[in-house]
Amino acid sequence: MHVIATAGHVDHGKSALLRALTGMEPDRWAEERRRGMTLDLGFVWTRLPEAGDIAFVDVPGHERLVGNMLAGVGPVPAVLFVVAADQGWQPQSEEHLAVLDALGVRHGVLAVTRSDLADPEEARVRALDRIAESCLGKLPSVTVSAVTGAGLDSMRTALVRLAAELPPPERDADVRLWVDRAFTVRGHGTVVTGTLGAGTLRVGDRLQLARDGAVLRVRGLECLKEARQEAGAVARVAVNLTGPGAGSLSRGDALLTPGRWLATDTVDVRLRGDRAADLPRELTLHAGSAAVPVTVRPLGEDTARLRLAATLPLRVGDTALLRDPARHRVPAGVTVLDVRPPSLTRRGAAAARDRDLRPGPEPADGTAELRRRGLIRRSELLAMGVRPPADPVAGEWLADPGHWAALRARLTDAVEEHAARNPLEPGLPLEAARQALGLPDRVLVDALLAQSSGLRHSEGRLYGSHAGPTLPPGVRAAVDAVRADLAEAPFRAPDADRLNALGLTPKLLAAAEAAGELLRIGKGVVLLPGADARAAAVLAELDQPFTASQACRALDSTRRVVIPLLEHLDRHGRTTRVDGALRRCRAADPDE
């Protein structure tokens, strides 16, 4: 299906043309037919042999109804621009062209209607010249009379050609259906209509309401009054919805593929039209069928930050427009550059942000976006409308290569700086490393560590060139004194008084052990490294099994030392208990 907005004219000419082309009545209200003026959106369609189904969204032309017009034309990729031969180019023609230009619509056909009432050539030339100055460029034109039928075949041929020019739809894309009508049908409940610009809808699908996150179910689906189990873009659809909040739906709401969109109330945009500095501070943003008041903050010549009065599901690359309702003007069209922009708090931040946005991602440039952000989850980048440029570095996390290399260097520096400040505990805890680098997730520390050859991980800490504690001179002298004592009597560990006199606290003893200078076998009991292996060798010479008293005599020590030493040997599999009082040595592992 192809969907075309019909715009530009306000009276009978436009509606009469659609009736002649489709055999359907586009004006839904009796008041519209009585006054000969479109007041709200109308929907009709026809089937052309070489183009398939073509649906028309008939939008009102009067300046007081431009809000309704924007709700219909916003999601539609092409336009049938109507000018009457007997009236020519009108103020509403100018405003509609400004809207189409602001939205960046590039496909269309000019229809000069009522050619039976006046020579159409002057109106046609004037309209083509004016339209050529917009993004629509040079349009094909057809002069037609709905009364006599003249030109209708040429009109159908032009529509077939227009349909062939339209870009192919993305039927596997995420759904974002802007609601342009919502009503209740007895026995069915809430029904909404809209133009499905991308993606595919199916009966049974779950859709998320953008404004509050409520999840609704697709109970039924119609395209052009025909029931469907599935509808792919581009299509006019009527969707029967059920679920909490379905009855509150209205024009401007958006229905989304769950979990695939970001709702934002702040966007940075590129402007097409007035300079940023010339824009009023308060305007209305029209996106899809939604209209939301915004506050404008200029960033540069053609860039600005918009703060929205309500969140909208927008993506990088989306087009929308700013309208000044008080002056009936469309001062600028916008292209969304960022839906998660950084805060602007420092002096000169706006100008710096403008530089950062050049060149803007139009279309969305994943490499540039990743470079600006440094780190971002893949799912968030997709939800922003940006295709990821690389594979994740950890979990879902994507990283700009330059930023990632800088993080690796910073991690090494953080580990070394910690070791220099804490010589007795040189290992940097993983959580402290995450905080030092400002990383949002611990898995990123693990990934950096895996790529950093100069670092190692042990028991939740990171070590660099200092694999163990570095003992300050005073501590080194005290430890050397203990080692001298033990060299003379290997199993006569210094008592608490001796350790206190030397100033060796439990923390310092732990540091000495980590440095490989002492071996702690129990609370306040230290020996030389390797003393446990020597003790096992001595005890293996005893008659097996042996008692603690026999071990004391063999090792020339006391129960204060031998009991924790035997428990240490038990834990390391060198000895084993036979009963409550006896132990025996285990056979030594030939690899030890």
What's the whole-number average pLDDT of the chain?
Answer: 88
pLDDT, residue 66, reads: 58
Res 11 pLDDT > 70:
no
pLDDT tens-digit readout, 535-564: 999 999 999 999 999 999 999 999 999 999
Lowest mean pLDDT among 98-112, 127-141, 260-274: 98-112
Whether 590 maps to a domain, the answer reads: no
Cα–Cα distance between 363 and 487 in angstroms, integer? 75
- Residue 478 domain-assigned (yes or no): no
Residue range 258-271: mean pLDDT, rounded:
95
Assess if residue 477 is contained within a domain. no
pLDDT at 474: 86
Identify which of 292, 234, 236 has the alpha carbon closest to the alpha carbon of residue 267.
292
More confidently predicted of 432 and 169:
432
Return the pLDDT at 592.
Answer: 43
Is position 474 within any domain? no
Distance separating alpha carbons of residues 388 and 375, to the nearest angstrom:
12
**Residues 310, 380: one domain?**
yes
Distance, in Å, from the CA atom of 560 to the CA atom of 495, rounded to the nearest integer, reads 9
Task: List Cα–Cα distances, 455 to 393, 407, 414, 515, 516, in angstroms.
Answer: 18, 13, 11, 18, 20
Q: What is the pLDDT of residue 583?
A: 94
Same domain, 354 and 271: yes
Q: How far apart are CA 383 and CA 400, in angstroms?
A: 18
What pLDDT sits at residue 369?
Answer: 85
Domain count along the chain: 5
At 360 the pLDDT is 54
> Which CATH number characterizes residue 158's domain?
3.40.50.300
pLDDT tens string 293-315: 999 999 999 999 999 999 999 99
pLDDT band at 45 (very low <50, low <70, confident <90, very high): confident
Residue 523 lies in a domain: yes
CB atoms within 10 A of CB 584: 15
Which CATH number fits the domain that encloses residue 275? 2.40.30.10
Q: Both 405 and 446 in a single domain?
A: yes
Give the position of tokens 């192809």: 2
| Same domain, residue pair 241 and 324 | no
Q: Do β-strands 107-113 and 78-84 pair in parallel, antiparallel, or remain unpaired?
A: parallel
C-alpha distance from residue 25 to each of 35, 143, 174, 293, 302 (Å): 14, 21, 33, 34, 43
**Is the domain of 451 the same as that of 376?**
no
Assess whether 559 and 576 both reside in one domain: yes
pLDDT digits (tens, 9 = 90+) for 400-432: 999 999 999 999 999 888 887 877 778 889 999
Residue 278 pLDDT exceeds 90:
yes
Share of the chain above pLDDT 90, in %: 59
pLDDT tens digits, 346-392: 889 999 999 988 865 455 678 888 888 899 999 999 999 888 888 99
Three-state SS sequence of 26-77: CCCCHHHHHHCCCCCCEEEEEEECCCEEEEEEECCCCHHHHHHHHHHHCCCC
The residue out of 256, 280, 300 marking a domain boundary is: 256
Q: Are residue 426 and residue 364 in the same domain, yes or no?
A: no
CATH number at residue 419: 1.10.10
Residue 517 is predicted with a pLDDT of 87
470 inside domain:
no
| Tens of pLDDT, residues 232-251 | 988 889 999 999 889 999 99
Together in a domain, 344 and 308: yes
Single-letter residue type at 213: G
158 in the same domain as 80: yes
- Determine if residue 568 is left, alpha or beta; phi over 0 gives left, psi from -120 to 50 gives alpha, anything else beta: alpha
Domain that holds residue 549: 484-585
Summarize pLDDT for 176-207 with one digit per residue, the tens.
Answer: 999 988 999 888 889 999 989 899 999 999 99
Statement: residue 579 has pLDDT above 50: yes
Q: Which of 248, 171, 174, 181 is nearest to 209 (CA)?
A: 248
Band (pLDDT 50/70/90 cuts) for residue 37 is very low
Tell which of 105, 136, 165 closes a domain. Answer: 165
Burial of 554 (0-12, 13-18, 19+ CB in 10 A): middle
Percent with pLDDT over 70 in the chain: 91
Q: Are residues 372 and 315 in the same domain?
A: yes
User: Do 22 and 111 lie in a common domain?
Assistant: yes
Averaged pLDDT, 523-537: 93
Residue 309 lies in a domain: yes
In a domain, 591, yes or no: no
Residues 280, 219 share a domain = no
At which of 236, 256, 276 does a domain end? 256
pLDDT at 563: 94
What pLDDT, in 10s, does the model give residues 114-146? 999 999 999 999 999 999 999 999 999 999 999
In contact, 100 and 136? CB cutoff 8 Å: yes
- Looking at residue 179, its pLDDT comes to 93
pLDDT of residue 116: 92
Q: How far is CA 432 from CA 264, 418, 458, in A?
A: 32, 10, 14
Task: Write the CB contacts of 342 (distance below 8 Å, at least 6 apart in sequence).
Answer: 353
Q: Rounded CA gap, 575 and 548, in Å?
A: 12
